[in-house]
A and B are shown apart, each in its own frame.
Chain A
C-alpha cells in the first residue's frame, strides 16, 4: 500500500502553489502574464493531483479503516520523535474535491476580475483599487473603462500561498501541520483582505480578521498542547482512530468546569473553529472581509478559510463526540456546538435581511450556513454536516464570483457614465438579467441552491439532511431554529436576486452595465454545474419517490464510519424544507419585485426599529469596541506602559536615586566637610581628580544623578555586607 503512486502525489499536492508563490515573489513579479501563468499552472497541477487522489480514494475499499498516507520524523522530543505526514480518507477526499475545483475556478476568474490586458490607469496606485483608464473608442470618443490592477502579480502570489495552505491543511495527517496551514491561511486572508492596504477600511478589516481569528487560535493552540501532552501524539489516526485513547480522554475529569479531558480539548478546538468559521461571538471579522477583492471573498468564504474551520470540527468529530452515542444526551461540548451553530444560523440570517451591499448579504449568509454545519455536528449529524460543507462551497463560491461579476459590470457602467454610485448597493441595480445573462442564470442557480429550492439544487439535499437529522435525533428546538433560518435564507436570497437582476435598472450604471469577460463567466458556468449536481450524490435512500434511484454515495462514503444510522425519512422535515424554501422565495420576490429607484426598503417600514437594529448588525461591533477594544487600549497605553512602567517601576528606581543623593548630601555635610576636609590637601587633590573623572556624569539631567546615586547606594550596601557578614 505505502509504495503506491498515490502517496507521492499526496505529498506533492500542496507544493505547486507554494513554488508558484516563491517564483512570483522572487523572479516573476514584473511580468503579469508570467505571474498568472505560474499561479494557474500550479493550481492546475494541484487540481490534477487532487482528482487523482480523489479517484483513488473513492475506489479504495475499506478506506475508513485504512486511510492511505505516509509520514516522516519531524521534531525530536526526548527519546522519541513527533512525526508529520499526509493522509487521505473520505472526509479529506471530498474536501479535496471541492477545494481543487473552487480554487482553480477562482484563479481563472481572477484574471478577468483584475482586468488583465487592460490599460493601466494614470491615477492608479499600488495599494488602492484601480480607478479606471481613459481610452479612445472606435467612434473616436474618449471614455473610461476598468483599468489593470497595479499589484496584479502580487495578487496571484498571495492567492497561490493561500491555496498552498489549504491543500496542506487537507492532506495533513496530524494537527500540527494542519495548524500550520490554518495559520498561513490566516496570514493570507490578512494580506488579501488588506490587499488594497491604502484604504483605511481595508487595513482595519485586515487587522480585525487576523486578531479575531487569533482569539480562537489561542484556544486551539492550548487545546493542541493539552492533547499532545495527554496522548503523546498529534496524529489523527492515533487519537481519533483509537477507541481506547478516546475512551480514556472521555473518562477522565479535567480541572476545568468538571468537563472530561475530551470535553475540554474539544471545547478548546471548537473555539478555534468559532474564530475561523466566523461563528457567534467571533463572527464580526467576516462581513468586513468584503474589503478584499471579490475573488478573495470567494476564496475565504467558500473554498478555504471558513471551510477549514468546519473541516477541523468534522475531523475531530470523534473527539468532540467522545462518550456519546446516538439517542443519548449530548455531551456538554456538543451541546455548545448545537446551540452556537443553530443560534448563529438564525442570527446571521436576520442580519442578512437588512443589508444593501450585495457582498455583505452573502457574507452573512455564509455565517448562517456555517452555523448549519456546526449545529449538525453538534447534534451528531456528521455526514449531513460534511455534505452541506461541500455543497455550500460550490454554491457560495459561485455566488461570490457572480456578485463580483455584477460589481464588475456595474463598475463598467459607472465608469462609462461617470456616475459615482456605490456599485455594490443592490438598490442601485435592477434589470441586470438582460445586461448580464450568463451571470444572471448562474447566480440564479447558486441562489436557488442557497435557498434550498427543492429537488433540483444541491443546497436542498444537504439542508434537508440537516433538518431531518435534527428532527430524527429529537432536537426539536434546533430543528425549529434552523427551519426558521432557512425561511429567512430563502427570503433574503429572493430579495437579492430580485433587486439585482429583475425589474428595471435603478441607476445609470445599471443601465450601462455589461457582461463580464469569458475568464469570469466560464468559472461561473463550471461552478453552477456543481451547485446543482453536487446534491445528487447524497440523496437518501429513504427519500419518498426519488430515494434509491441514484445510490446515496455520499452518505455511504463519508458517513460510513460515523456513529449515525439513518432512521426512516419522516415527511415532517421534507415538508418543512419545501415550505420554507418555496415560501421564502415567493415572499421575497413579491415584496421586492416592484421596488423603484430611491424608494426605501419595504422591510424598513414593516419592521421599524428592528430593521435598523438588523441593519446595524445588532450593534455588536460598537459593543465590542466599548467592551474590549477601548479597555485593551487603556490597559496597555495607560495602565501598563505609563503607570506601571514609567510611574511605579521607574518611580521606585528614581526614588532610590533621590534617596542616594540625599544620603550623599547628609554624609557630605555631617561627615565629609568637618572630618575629611580637615585631613589635608592630598585628599583635596584626589577629590579634584575624581571630580574631573566623574564630570561627564554631571550632565544636568536629574535622572542621571538619581541613577548615579543608585549605584552609590548599591555599592555601599554591598561593601557593608562584605565587611560585616564575611
Chain B
C-alpha cells in the first residue's frame, strides 16, 4: 500500500511557507499563529506514521518516483527506526522554535518563511533514500539557516554566518564529489541499491588511475569530513560557538536540536553501511576524534564566560558520544559479543541524538529567556537570580540536569548505552571520554553557580519578570519528554533497537 504521508510531512512546511508569503505582512500576530499552527501539521502526520509504524520491518512508507532519469536518481523516501525519531524531533522542535520566536518583531514574514523552509530541508535529509536527494536537501537546509543568522543575528553575525556557511560548504564539496563518484561507478543513487552494490564493488570503470581501495578510502574521508563538520567533531568545530552565539534564540534551538543531528545521521545512514571496511580500518581515528570532541568540548565549555557560548560548546561535548558510538560500531567484528556491543552503542547514539535535541534546544531557549530580560549573556553579570526568578531557576535546574545526564532523565540512558557499547571495543577512548563527562558536570554547575546562585546582583532587583505562560509552553514538552525517556526509555528505544539490530 502506498500512501503519501511522508511527502505530506516533507512538503507541508513548504506549502505553509508559500501561503505565508501571501498573508499581509503588517499583521505579525496572524503570521505567527499561522506559522505555528501549520507547523503542527507535520507533527500530527508524524504521529500518525509513528502509530502505524511496524517495528520489525525495515524502511516503510516508501515512495519512489523517477526524478533524474538520465542519472538514474529518484525521489525516494522512506523511514525506519533510526530516521523516524529524527523526523519526530524535527517536527516537534520546529513548532516550539516558532513559538519561542513570538517576540521577534523585526521582519516577521521572511523570518517565519525561512524557518518553515528550513524544516523541509531538514526533514528531506532524514527521509531521503536516494543519495542525490539526500545531498540536495543537505544543502537546502543550509541556506535558510545562513540567512537566519545573518539577518536576525547578534553583533558579529556576518562573520559567524559566513563561517558557518563556508565550513559546511567546504565539507559538503567532498560529499558531492564522492556522491557523484558513487553514482558514476554504480549507475544508481538509490540508497537501497547502493547498500547492496557499493561495499562489495571490486572494480571501478572510471578513468581515475587509483586503486579501488584508495578511491574508497578517499570517498570515505570525504563523507566523514562532511558529516564531521556538521556534528561537529573536533577539530572542525570552531564555526559552532560563533554561529550559536550570534544566532537568534530559535535559530540556536534548531541548530543544536536538529542541524547537528544531520551530521550524526549521515554517519549512521551513509558512512557505516556504505563503508564498513573503511570504517573499520579508520575506527581508531574516529574514536580519537570523538574522545577529543568530548574532552576538549567540555574543557572549552568550562572556560567560557558567555552563557550561550558555554551551551554551544556543550553540544560538541555531547555529540562526541554519538561519534564514539559510531567508531565503536565501525570497529566491531562479526562475533556475537561485538555485535551486541555495537548494537548497544548505536542504540545509545540514536538515543543521545534525540535526547540532546531536547536538552540542547531547551538550554538555548533558556539562555534566550534570560537574555531577553537582561540583554547580556556574560555569566559574571548575573548572580543569585534564583531568588527573583524562582520558576525560571527551577526550569533551568531541571534542563541543566537533563543535559548533565542525571539518571532518571534521558541523557543518562543514552550515555550509559554508549559507554557500555564502546567499552569492550574502544577501552582507552571510552576511559578518556569519562574525563570529558566529569567536566560536563563542571561546566553545567558553573553556569548554575554564576546565574542562579550566590549573592543577588542588585542591578536586577525588581527589573526581572519570571517566565511567562508562552515560555513555559515552549519548555514544558521538552522537560516532559526528557523525564519520560529517562524513566521509561523503552517506548523509543524499542524502535531504535530493532532498526539498529536489523542494520548492523
Q: Chain A residues in contact with chain B, CB under 8 A? A: 25, 73-79, 125-127, 176, 179-180, 182-184, 187, 190-191, 194, 197-198, 200, 202-203, 206-207, 210-211, 214-215, 218-219, 221-222, 224-226, 228-229, 255, 632-633, 635-642, 644-645, 649-650, 653, 696-697, 699, 701, 703-704, 707-708, 710-711, 714-715, 718, 721-722, 725-726
Contact = CB atoms under 8 A, between A and B. Distances in A.
A639 B296 CA distance: 10
A180 B454 contact: no
Contact of B441 (A214, A226, A636, A650): A214
B455 interface: yes
B44 interface: no
B387 A127 contact: yes
Nearest to A708: B162
A126 B453 CA distance: 11
Contacts of A77: 340, 343-344, 347, 497
Given A126-B386, A636-B439, A225 B420 contact: yes
Nearest to A191: B397
Contacts of B406: 183-184, 187
B213 interface: no
B82 interface: no
15 contacts: A78-B343, A78-B344, A126-B390, A182-B407, A183-B406, A218-B437, A224-B416, A226-B423, A229-B424, A636-B303, A637-B302, A653-B238, A703-B159, A704-B158, A704-B159
A711 B455 contact: no
Contacts of B177: 718, 721-722
Contact of A225 (B299, B416, B449, B498): B416
Nearest to A703: B159
Nearest to B236: A649
Nearest to B166: A711
Interface stretch (B137-145, B364-372, B488-496): B488-496
B76 to A, nearest CB: 26
Interface string B384-405: 1011001000100100010000
Nearest to B418: A225
Contacts of B427: 255
B445 A198 contact: no
A298 B437 CA distance: 30
A183 B408 contact: yes
Interface in B218-252: 235, 237-238, 241
B384 A714 contact: no
B212 interface: no
Q: How large is the interface on B (under 10, 10 to 19, 20 to 34, 35 or more residues)?
A: 35 or more
B158 A206 contact: no
Contacts of B490: 73-76
Nearest to B162: A707
Interface in B264-318: 296, 299-304, 313
Interface of B: 158-159, 162-163, 165-166, 169-170, 173, 177, 208, 235, 237-238, 241, 296, 299-304, 313, 339-341, 343-344, 347, 384, 386-387, 390, 394, 397, 401, 406-408, 412-413, 416-417, 419-420, 423-424, 427, 430-431, 434-435, 437-439, 441-442, 445-446, 449, 452-456, 488-490, 493-494, 497-498, 501
B411 to A, nearest CB: 12
B235 A228 contact: no
Given A75-B493, A202-B453, A640-B300, 19 more contacts: A25-B394, A75-B417, A182-B407, A183-B408, A197-B386, A197-B453, A218-B437, A219-B434, A225-B423, A633-B302, A636-B302, A641-B299, A645-B241, A653-B238, A696-B158, A711-B165, A711-B169, A714-B173, A715-B173
Nearest to A210: B445
A714 B235 contact: no
A704 B296 contact: no
Contacts of A718: 173, 177
A636 B310 CA distance: 12
Contact of A183 (B169, B300, B407): B407
B180 to A, nearest CB: 8
Nearest to A640: B299
A641 B303 contact: yes
The 10 closest A-B pairs by CB, nearest first: A641-B303, A636-B303, A637-B303, A203-B453, A180-B407, A636-B302, A76-B497, A197-B453, A636-B299, A640-B299
Contact of A649 (B235, B303, B412): B235
B162 A78 contact: no
A711 B344 contact: no
A635 B162 contact: no
Nearest to A126: B387
Contacts of A179: 407
Nearest to A81: B490
Contacts of B170: 710-711, 714
A211 B442 contact: yes
A210 B453 CA distance: 15
A707 B416 contact: no
Given A229-B420, A636-B299, A707 B163 contact: yes
Contacts of B296: 640, 644
Nearest to B493: A76
